[in-house]
């Protein structure tokens, strides 16, 4: 069964304190792994797509990496505006493009 598990469930950081979020997955043929950001009361917003082990993507203070079993979202010197829930999702080698989501990590960055 395709499954995505994110850890930790919640993470509190001080401004400037770098850390990483984890996304572990099991899927019958990975087509892609996705990271989304979700602010309270809003829909998820696309951040990155990773397709193969060893691939890395960066955007401002965020860097996503991928192995055969997990993905990390590294946050370097975070700012309060980085506070949000970060969602990981996988897409299997099936028609339909449907995404299987993890439960998310709620990140809080205090000034």
Partner 1 sequence: NAGVTQTPKFRVLKTGQSMTLLCAQDMNHEYMYWYRQDPGMGLRLIHYSVGEGTTAKGEVPDGYNVSRLKKQNFLLGLESAAPSQTSVYFCASSFGPEAFFGQGTRLTVV
Q: Which is nearer to partner 1, 5 or 67 (CB)?
A: 5
Shortest spacing between CB 50 and partner 1, in angstroms: 10
Nearer to partner 1, 15 or 56 (CB): 56
Residue 18 beta carbon to partner 1: minimum distance, rounded to whole angstroms: 25
The DSSP 8-state label assigned to residue 93 in this structure reads S
Binding site for partner 1 (CB under 8 A): 4, 32, 34, 41-46, 49, 87, 89, 91, 95-104
- Nearest CA-CA partner of 49 in 38, 36, 62, 37: 36
Q: Which of residues 65 and 85 has its CB atom nearest to partner 1 in the complex?
A: 85
- Three-state secondary-structure class, residue 81: helix
| Integer Cα distance of 27 and 1 in angstroms | 7
Nearer to partner 1, 1 or 81 (CB): 1
Of 59, 95, 56, 51, nearest to 75 (Cα)?
A: 59
């Amino acid at each position: 069964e395709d499954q995505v598990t994110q850890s930790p469930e919640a993470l509190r950081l001080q401004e400037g304190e770098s850390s990483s979020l984890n996304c572990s997955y099991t899927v019958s043929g990975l087509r892609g792994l996705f990271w989304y950001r979700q602010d309270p009361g809003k829909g998820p917003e696309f951040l990155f797509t990773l397709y193969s082990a060893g691939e890395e993507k960066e955007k401002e203070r965020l860097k996503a990496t991928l192995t055969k079993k997990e993905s990390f979202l590294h946050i370097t010197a975070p700012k309060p505006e980085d506070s949000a829930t970060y969602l990981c999702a996988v897409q299997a080698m099936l028609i339909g493009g449907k995404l299987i989501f993890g439960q998310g990590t709620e990140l809080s960055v205090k000034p």
